[in-house]
Amino acid sequence: MRITIVAVGRLRAGPEQTLLNHFIKRITWPVEIREVEEKKNLNGDALKRREGELLLDKCPPGSQIIALDERGKEISSRSFAIKVSD
């Protein structure tokens, strides 16, 4: 298994980078981070649609895609592990 994390924006030094590095060291599979950023000045739905396109374009072919969002449904670590292992 390979894990590819595709995210909007640039990850800068700070607590998020430290946390990411901590978890990457604990994962036994290869992990790749791919960042995307829309350069055009778009707003609202147009920006969401374009960022979605950029994210999907960076996903490896045949990937199982799991979207994480702060407004999404919370699941336990065990449930997430089961979903990833499918």
CA distances from 69 to 3, 8, 26, 40, 41 (A): 18, 12, 22, 23, 23
Average predicted confidence (pLDDT) for the chain: 90
Quick check: pTM over 0.85? no
- Residue carrying structure tokens 């778009």: 42
**Domain extent listing, the chain:** 3-85
Q: Taking the alpha carbons of 10, 30, 48, 39 in that order, is the dihedral positive or negative?
A: positive
Q: Does residue 86 have a pLDDT over 70?
A: no
